[in-house]
Structure 1
């Protein structure tokens, strides 16, 4: 007699949930994904708005991510690459700096910029070489300190840290003091050095779209809000109860699993503002930084400098704000306009949309790159995934989804054999 296929549920249709579904399908199972919103993607989404592609927050794909290389078809995504550098607005001037070994057009502006000393520029080459040779396992087993302490110990001047590292990595880590673990800094810096920052032609949301389209036997149930998960049952907010054999929770588990109630993840938030403009001030595909203290703006970028699936004659400007200083949205928009004019000389903007992303990145300690599949198992029937299990990155979201799914497969194999 044929054994009945176990009921496997995945809570959350973000990157982790989609990867978990793919791994389960490859093992011959047909999971059911329960998603609280009306679409997949989680924190990785793109909205089409007035002829523009608006990503939910300024996000990029680092092409060197091992898990992304494994699970994504880069060619089909039509990746548009950034140059390895940044435009820095300092003292009413605009300076392009970057890695001249990878992009020759940045050689002279980098060499002759006053963003840091010659010693700082030589240290950049030293850091590049050092991290190129350092393995991912070595990075994630290194002693943790703050990124600021790491850069200081490495020998960088306070000028270089404040003019480049602080504004650039604050936008990645979503905190302004470089208090993020040095493991995360080394990992991200290594990934930047070994590949490119890129965006799919159709926006960051093309990533979950591609992953979902590869799924064949997974079923999705949208607008389903889960209340409680236990080993054999999932209770929904509306009182419905679903029988389950195995459940992978890819969202915040403390809200769904009573025993984890006191272990809620803390999150970093940000604001993404989009404006329309007639002209583009940064001509190359470079992120713009404002290394001034107490500014609202962390970084700016013109997504319209890259090829996009949407065609429009207007330029699109993205602005990231990490700390909105408790301003109302209306005041925030006006102050951002004022800073764009004062520090960048950008005027005549038409405001499009503001996104407040309260859970943009998890605040984590003791960061890990990977974990054994067995460690994703919380109880006999519940498994945990999501970047909160490892580190705040797309790579971690993918890896944790894969590991949780493999954990379920191992558990099923064990029960079938016994």
Structure 2
């Protein structure tokens, strides 16, 4: 059986991975760019390792655990919890797993009241008992912000922690995202934190390519037309297939959230931490700051420190970032040097959870991608797996 897959993003690669694992290895993957990975790509510039947009792997993801070899990825882990900056104050919000001192700092100086922290522990316990399937099969449809208020969290902790943190996860500022995504991601963060591979986020797709075989991927090849039995590329060639998989949003249907990610180099870190730093200042531009070379030393191999700074939307002026950064770290920010700026226009799809995902379209073309299921690495890989399983069923 010959399979043609359009798109070498995570969903297409995962589909190919499962097909090969089930002895279907007559596969051709068509990729319009020079690299596999879709939205997950890493550039190497002047001794720095720059992921295109601040991204992390949540090792608790059920789909990545099925496919990826974490030992080979050599995961570099963030410290659990966050460090919040608001009105010239540092507010610690650490996970109790970081030790008694961390727990004490959070209880005494952390955001919100003691009741807020008890509600948080209850939420962590409750989600720990729920399976991922139960979370997404829930019929309750409310926004994440409504969900947090329904749980009883105070406006103070919502404003100081939940909104700044989830602005960086959902890439939208009002937490309109379906509450099921908050439940799922918070469960994943609580279970096993966040990490990046030692050699950059693109080590994830590279590991999949190594298994499938780079010879199965045609890079820099644009698809002009496809149907359920053939694919036509920009060089005018048409190839026949038994099954065709569309593993990208080729028609650009749907809405996406946009994010701007700037990388800065500096001789001296403003703070020595492996936590994600949240900006809770009123009228803020940036969401979060990460001392990424502190978390993963390989992200800088030239003796300088590398800092990742992200803001939702499009920000063409670096000064917008620097003004905000000065309100957090002071005048030393003037010594930071911009390494690279990324504007990711289709960073995260806006998902309608009421629309049921079907791997096979009415036209007979198989479809997968995070835009069809859930906007995450887990969603991309789950849709790739489910599509492969549909194909395997028909063999």
TM-score, length basis structure 1 = 0.89
DSSP 3-state at the match of 2:195: strand
Q: 2:153 aligns with which of 151, 156, 160?
A: 156
The aligned counterpart of 2:308 is 318
Task: State the distance in 1 between where 2:99 and 2:200 align.
Answer: 24
- Equivalenced residue count is 390
The aligned counterpart of 2:325 is 340
After superposition, where does 1:270-289 map in structure 2 within 5 Å?
270-289=259-278
Q: 1:61 aligns with which of 46, 57, 69?
A: 57
Q: 2:391 aligns with which of 408, 412, 418?
A: 408
Q: Deviation at 1:281?
A: 2.2
DSSP 3-state at the match of 2:109: coil
Q: Structure 1 residue 228 and structure 2 residue 238: aligned? A: no
Task: State the distance in 2 between where 1:114 and 1:66 align.
Answer: 31
Where does the alignment leave 5 or more consecutive residues of structure 2 unmatched? none
Q: CA-to-partner distance for each residue in 1:304-362, whole Å, 9 max, x for gaps? A: 112333523111010101033xx5x2xx2012111111223251101111011011000
Task: State the distance in 1 between where 2:388 and 2:98 align.
Answer: 38
Q: CA-to-partner distance for each residue in 1:347-386, whole Å, 9 max, x for gaps? A: 1101111011011000011169x96xxx311146410011
TM-score, length basis structure 2 = 0.94
Q: Deviation at 1:88?
A: 0.7
DSSP 3-state at the match of 1:396: helix
RMSD: 1.8
Task: State the distance in 2 between where 1:210 and 1:104 align.
Answer: 38
Contact 2:3 2:241 in 1 (8 A): yes
Q: Structure 1 residue 209 and structure 2 residue 206: aligned? A: yes
Where does the alignment leave 5 or more consecutive residues of structure 1 unmatched? 1-5, 256-263, 414-418
After superposition, where does 1:19-418 map in structure 2 within 5 Å?
19-29=14-24, 30-113=26-109, 115-142=111-138, 143-216=140-213, 219-254=216-251, 264-309=253-298, 310-324=300-314, 327=315, 329=316, 332-345=317-330, 346-347=332-333, 348-366=335-353, 375-379=358-362, 381-411=364-394, 413=395
Contact 2:85 2:281 in 1 (8 A): no
DSSP 3-state at the match of 1:57: coil
DSSP 3-state at the match of 1:248: strand
Q: Deviation at 1:248?
A: 0.9
